[in-house]
């Protein structure tokens, strides 16, 4: 496929780390929340093997925070998600579907409770801040919605634990998965969560002070030499093998959270109030007619620009939404929206790429379970 440059503009916002990563071998950007998100350095496959063995620092500032503050903040956050946050605790992260009034997906952020009256919604790529502002003003809620200057650095990979301990001290090793706290480095406080968009383990540093953040960035790279540290970015091979979903790729506003397999983050029983609840109650009674599943395809490479129909003879089985060559399975693995009649994993299908027909089969997600 022909490659093009991305033309920079003010509305395609850079991050505090853009100049760093550009001088460290960045080769491709994508955009995310109207911001630059690094997409490649040495190549996805090389980066995949490195991520699984060493440690990487990712500039994921494009995972923007919607900050909600005020007396009605909990009410507003709950209005937008079908996950029950009644018992949520300060200091914890919650992966939660954001849905619309029809019960369809808008985003799949991590919601962080900083205080009873202060929340961050750490977004995937869609304008949830505008949704929140509309609700707050339309319902006259006492909730202030803003996008603070918070820029995330993810430190991912099996050696991330040793590196973070070396730089930030022993206390960081006590942080539990999806917990967060403040840690001090050279007199500056950093908000750090144990999370990240890979299943190789690691942390996310929510940087609130740009200058202090750049100092920490440089320190991570010098302290990380002994751990073979490299700059990186979310890796499509690792995330597909691990079954981490990508908003806008694997699902969009035409899909509901049941169809995305988010059942454990849906509450239709309790007495909580959120938009789309009626719709989800109805869907939970009727059942769904399509859902996201894994697929394996006999191909040694794939490049996807839009969803690809999967056929069984003349019948449509579903649509391939994301796919990548997996060095582990030595074939293409992907995430596809599969019609109910074909959930039976024995189903095989054909798909056409560049005028050639290829065979594939359906399987469960995740392809590789590597819970840390």
Residues that bind ligand THG (CB under 6 A): 63, 95, 108-110, 122-124, 152, 178, 195-197, 204, 244
Q: Nearest distance from residue 65's CB to ligand THG, in Å?
A: 8
- How many whole angstroms separate alpha carbon 124 and alpha carbon 355? 33
Nearest to 196 by CA among 241, 251, 147, 152: 152
- Return the number of the residue (122 or 235) whose C-beta is nearest ligand THG: 122
- Nearer to ligand THG by Cβ, of 93 and 317: the residue is 93
Q: Which CB, 97 or 224, lies closer to ligand THG?
A: 97
> Which one, 245 or 297, has the nearer CB to ligand THG?
245
How far is 342 from 365, CA to CA, in rounded Å?
Answer: 15
d(CA 83, CA 56): 31
The set of residues, in sequence order, having a beta carbon less than 8 Å from that of 114 and lying 6+ positions away, is: 90, 120
The CB-of-3 to ligand THG minimum distance in angstroms stands at: 26
User: C-alpha 68: how far from its chain's center?
Assistant: 20
Hey, how many other C-beta atoms are within 10 angstroms of the C-beta on 343? 13
Nearer to ligand THG, 34 or 289 (CB): 34
We find the least distance from the C-beta atom of residue 285 to ligand THG, in angstroms, to be: 25
* Closest distance to ligand THG from the beta carbon of 246 (Å): 8
Query: Whole-number minimum distance, CB 209 to ligand THG, in Å?
Result: 18
Q: How far is the CB of 357 from ligand THG (least distance, A)?
A: 33
CA 111 to the chain's CA centroid? 12
Least spacing, CB of residue 203 vs ligand THG, in Å: 10
- Would you state the structure tokens that stand for residue 186, as one six-digit string? 């050279």
What 8-state DSSP symbol labels residue 18? Answer: H
Minimal distance, residue 123 CB to ligand THG, in Å: 5
Phi and psi (nearest 5°) for 237? -70, -50
Q: Please say which residue, 74 or 244, places its beta carbon nearer to ligand THG.
A: 244
Residue 108 vs 238, nearer CB to ligand THG = 108
Tell me whether the omega of the peptide bond preceding residue 366 falls within 30 degrees of 0, making it cis.
yes
CA 249 to chain centroid, in Å, comes to 11
Distance of CA 96 to the CA centre of its chain: 11
As given in the structure block, the two tokens for residue 163 are 């590196």
Residue 57 — φ and ψ, nearest 5°? -110, 125
Q: Nearer Cβ to ligand THG, position 177 or 343?
A: 177
CA–CA separation, 284 and 293 (whole Å): 19
């Amino acid at each position: 496929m022909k490659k093009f440059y991305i033309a920079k503009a003010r509305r395609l916002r850079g991050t505090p780390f853009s100049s760093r990563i550009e001088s460290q071998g960045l080769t491709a950007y994508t955009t995310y929340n109207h911001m630059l998100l690094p997409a490649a350095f040495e190549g996805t496959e090389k980066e995949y093997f490195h991520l699984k063995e060493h440690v990487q620092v990712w500039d994921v500032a494009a995972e923007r925070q919607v900050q909600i503050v005020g007396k009605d903040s909990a009410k507003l956050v709950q209005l937008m998600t079908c996950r029950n946050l009644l018992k949520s605790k300060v200091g914890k992260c919650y992966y939660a579907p954001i849905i619309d009034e029809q019960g369809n997906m808008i985003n799949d952020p991590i919601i962080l409770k900083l205080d009873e009256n202060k929340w961050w919604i750490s977004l995937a790529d869609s304008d949830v801040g505008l949704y929140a502002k509309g609700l707050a003003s339309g319902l006259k809620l006492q909730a202030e919605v803003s996008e603070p200057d918070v820029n995330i650095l993810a430190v991912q990979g099996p050696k991330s634990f040793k590196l973070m301990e070396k730089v930030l001290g022993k206390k960081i090793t006590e942080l539990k998965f999806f917990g967060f706290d403040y840690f001090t480095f050279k007199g500056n406080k950093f908000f750090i969560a144990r999370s990240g968009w890979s299943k190789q383990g690691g942390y996310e540093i929510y940087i609130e002070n740009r200058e202090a953040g750049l100092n920490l960035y440089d320190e991570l790279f010098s302290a990380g030499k002994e751990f073979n540290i490299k700059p990186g970015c979310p890796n499509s091979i690792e995330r597909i093998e691990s079954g981490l979903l990508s908003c806008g790729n694997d699902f969009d506003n035409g899909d509901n959270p049941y169809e995305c397999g988010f059942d454990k983050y849906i509450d239709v029983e309790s007495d909580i109030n959120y938009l789309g609840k009626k719709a989800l109650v109805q869907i939970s009674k009727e059942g769904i007619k399509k859902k996201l599943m894994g697929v394996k395809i006999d191909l040694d490479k794939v490049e996807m620009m839009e969803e690809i129909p999967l056929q069984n003879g003349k019948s449509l089985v579903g649509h391939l939404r994301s796919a990548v060559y997996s060095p582990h399975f030595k074939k293409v693995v992907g995430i596809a929206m599969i019609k109910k009649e074909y959930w039976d994993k024995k189903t095989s299908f054909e798909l056409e790429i560049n005028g050639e027909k290829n065979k594939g089969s359906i399987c469960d997600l995740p392809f590789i379970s590597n819970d840390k």
